[in-house]
Amino acid sequence: MATLGLSPAEKTAVEAFRRDVVEPSMTSLVVIDFWAEWCGPCKALTPVLEKVCAEYADRGVVLAKVDTDANQFIAQQFQVRSIPTVYAMFGGQLVADLTSARTESQLRGLLDQLLRQLPIESAATAQEAELEPLIAMGEEVLAEGDADRALGIFEQLAEMAPEHPAVLAGRVRALVAAGRLDEADAALAGLPPALADDAGVHRARAALDLARAAGPASGSDDEAAAGLAALEAEAAAAPDDLDARFRLANARVAAGQRDGAADDLLAIVAADRDWNEGAARQQLLKLFEVVGLMDPWVSQQRRRLSAVLFG
């Protein structure tokens, strides 16, 4: 923003804008709020901007307020025709118009999108880089079936990042895998409300629901195998008994036999898609979520489910 030919007051405004907005934007995402004292909607929006930007401060977000009455020249340069007008600046350039975000959830959504796209350095991004391989290690150990070791990893990570959604969700799934369902339930109940819609938390809740439906594993491996064999015999003797097939599917889930569980649930859907208010399809969808929606196995089973439903 050139200062040649400007009045002393305009030069002062430009220098202040460079200091308070442009320079911070070189390393941070600056949310610029163009407002005025007489503007009612501005006053309504201010608490939303202040709260969300404070929440995102450790991720490199800074709030800068520009009074359009006191900074008419600056407002004109940005072609502000109505207020409130809210822009996002990074690297000295405007990167988004945030004016449409009038609620906390809307603003968070737009900021999350921007922060994923921009190379902003912050304490949170540094921590994320440190946590990412450790979270991946916990997930790998959990996938290998070592629930106790995975739980230990996620509990150590929770000490480092007590509100990280992937860490908290991973700990819940490890508790579920270890058969500690009541503890998993309590852990989910204690999560911050802001994480209620997190995909990882949804996956953890689905794992708990699926484990409760499957029921506890019975005694020793030999006893569990005998119980599973009895359910298989029961379902084979009465192929039209969908209740028996559903109990078998749940037992296979508990035993970690996801292929067999999927076969049973798909067979129920094929026989009667509305059986027990769609319980088989709902259980199958929970299994997909627990395994991971991007997993190739899930993609294969989704195709099978589509063929049953629409073939």
Active site residues: 39, 42
Retrieve residue 222's tokens. 């030999």
Closest CA to 120 of 20, 28, 24, 22: 28
- Cβ atoms of 272 and 189 closer than 8 Å: no
Percent helix, strand, coil in the chain (nearest 5)?
65, 10, 25
Q: Are 102 and 42 in contact (CB under 8 A)?
A: no
How far is residue 309's CA from residue 302's CA, in Å, rounded to a whole number? 10
DSSP 77: H
Structure tokens, 270: 């094929």
Q: CB-based burial of residue 135 (10 Å sphere; 0-12 exposed, 13-18 middle, 19+ buried)?
A: buried
Q: Judge contact between 65 and 11, C-beta under 8 A.
A: no
Element holding 158 (H helix, E strand): helix 147-160
